[in-house]
């Protein structure tokens, strides 16, 4: 294991804001640059870096093997992490080196590069060292568990996944080896959300044969991929975002705990505008009605369109999970309970009161969303690419939702 000191520069919108230094034995230190600290008009890196008075936190404890939660959450998880780490020749547990290898196309407007153009130390990786068959790392890394890749739109139609270099402005989510028709499910749920007026990026359900350069060794299942336009990319520039695991300083493995929907609502109430609260309420009600038991902290984000002001980011990862795993529990507590069968107007009223939101308004939006969903679902369910078993599972689930 290397004892050499190595430093990564952290850039936000292309400008240096901090450094992450590996001081040996996988111990890392993060520090903001003096220029960022002294810049009174500095862009926001993350809400979790604010102190109780709205100032900038500048004192951080060292971490071992893992990075600070904010940076750890920029990295992929589980199967995707292992796949990309293997390609890069990096031990997936050693996050400093994984971020080094994958830091050119992270979520949001953050990039990471080695200070002074350093090369990776000669002993940063595992047994892949010196293996001539080891492939170059794929220099993009989209956080999360699912197999998904950043892709570029082709002039002739379709998408291509770049082997190296920065990724594109689309995310390709490949079919699951465990669950049937997940791309069709996600496409349908996102389209329903769009019909209900939620902020949904452009999406496609694309035949896999129209996606070029799908990496080898990951397996292919099903015939279609779900494709969604990246809302953190626009007109050739990066727009900064952060998910709520980053906001709350929670490591990815704790994304199902440590916080609640009420905590998310409270942050949006403080940092956002009225429309952010309305959008949050619509999404919370909608994902309850479709039976999405996987709306964890990383599936909610804020976006900084002007580099300073946080607002709720466009919708993503809306999937009805009940056709695959029947469940009465959501990923996070609403206010007092995470049970779908406890999702009542009273529970929403409790959330609004505790999060200091206008209760009457929240309840009106919830009622409107329920009524709108019932109308759209009845009209559109037969026209969406859902299997009959999915439709039946969602409708069984809905009969148990008190709201």
Sign of CA dihedral 77, 179, 184, 400: negative
Q: What share of the chain is helix, strand, coil (3-state, %, to 5)?
A: 35, 20, 50
DSSP state of 287: H
15-22 and 237-238: which strand pairing?
unpaired
221 φ, ψ (degrees, to nearest 5):
-135, 135
Structure tokens at 142: 């989209």
Structure tokens at 14: 């292309």
Q: Assess whether 294 carries a catalytic annotation.
A: yes
- End-to-end Cα spacing for the chain: 56
* 3-state SS record for 333-349: CCCCCCEHHHCCHHHHH
Tell me how far apart the alpha carbons of residues 44 and 366 are, in angstroms, rounded to a whole number.
31
Tell me how far apart the alpha carbons of residues 24 and 183 are, in angstroms, rounded to a whole number.
43
68 φ, ψ (degrees, to nearest 5):
-55, 150
286 φ, ψ (degrees, to nearest 5):
-60, -50
Closest by Cα among 98, 106, 95 to 140: 106
211-212 and 203-207: which strand pairing?
unpaired
211-212 and 159-160: which strand pairing?
parallel
Tell me how far apart the alpha carbons of residues 186 and 194 are, in angstroms, rounded to a whole number.
12
State the number of CA atoms in the 13 A half-sphere of 135 facing the CB.
Answer: 13
Write down the catalytic residue from 232, 243, 276, 294.
294
Following DSSP, what letter does each residue of 218-269 receive, concatenated? S---SSEEEEEE-TTEETTEE-EEEEHHHHTT--GGGTTSS--HHHHHHHHH
Closest by Cα among 66, 51, 56, 54 to 20: 66
The partner residues of 8 in beta bridges, in order of sequence, read 20, 114
203-207 and 233-234: which strand pairing?
unpaired
Instruction: Give the residue numbers annotated as catalytic, written as ranges.
Output: 294
């Amino acid at each position: 294991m290397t004892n050499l000191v190595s430093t990564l520069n952290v850039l936000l919108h292309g400008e240096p804001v901090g450094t992450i230094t590996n001081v040996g034995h996988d111990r890392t230190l993060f520090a903001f640059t003096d220029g960022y600290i002294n810049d009174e008009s500095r862009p926001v890196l993350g809400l979790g870096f604010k102190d109780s008075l709205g100032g900038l936190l500048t004192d951080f404890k060292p971490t071992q093997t893992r990075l600070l939660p904010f940076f750890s959450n920029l990295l992929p998880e589980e199967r995707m992490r292992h796949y990309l780490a293997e390609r890069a020749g990096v031990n997936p547990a050693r996050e400093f080196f994984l971020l080094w290898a994958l830091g050119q196309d992270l979520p949001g407007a953050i990039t990471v590069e080695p200070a002074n153009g350093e090369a990776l130390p000669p002993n940063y990786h595992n047994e892949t060292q010196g293996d001539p068959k080891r492939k170059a790392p794929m220099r993009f890394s989209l956080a999360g568990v699912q197999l998904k890749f950043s892709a570029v739109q082709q002039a002739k139609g379709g998408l291509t996944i770049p082997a190296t270099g920065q990724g594109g402005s689309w995310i390709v989510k490949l079919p699951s080896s465990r669950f049937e028709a997940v791309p069709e499910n996600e496409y349908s749920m996102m389209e329903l959300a769009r019909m209900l007026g939620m902020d949904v990026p452009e999406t496609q359900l694309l035949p896999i044969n129209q996606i070029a350069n799908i990496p080898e060794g990951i397996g292919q299942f099903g015939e279609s991929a779900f494709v969604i336009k990246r809302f953190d990319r626009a007109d050739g520039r990066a727009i900064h975002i952060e998910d709520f695991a980053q906001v709350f300083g929670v490591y990815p493995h704790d994304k199902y705990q440590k916080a609640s929907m009420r905590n998310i609502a409270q942050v949006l109430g403080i940092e956002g505008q009225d429309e952010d609260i309305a959008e949050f309420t619509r999404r919370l009600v909608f994902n309850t009605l479709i039976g999405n038991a996987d709306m964890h902290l990383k599936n909610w984000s804020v976006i900084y369109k002007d580099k300073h002001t946080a607002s709720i980011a466009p919708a993503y990862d809306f999937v009805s999970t009940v056709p695959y795993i029947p469940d009465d529990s959501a990923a996070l507590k609403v206010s007092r309970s995470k049970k779908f069968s406890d999702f009542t107007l009273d529970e929403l009223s409790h959330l609004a009161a505790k999060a200091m939101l206008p209760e009457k308004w929240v309840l009106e939006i919830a009622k409107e969303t329920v009524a709108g969903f019932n109308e759209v679902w009845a009209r559109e369910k037969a026209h969406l690419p859902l299997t009959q078993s999915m439709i039946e599972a969602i409708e069984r689930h809905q009969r148990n939702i008190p709201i």
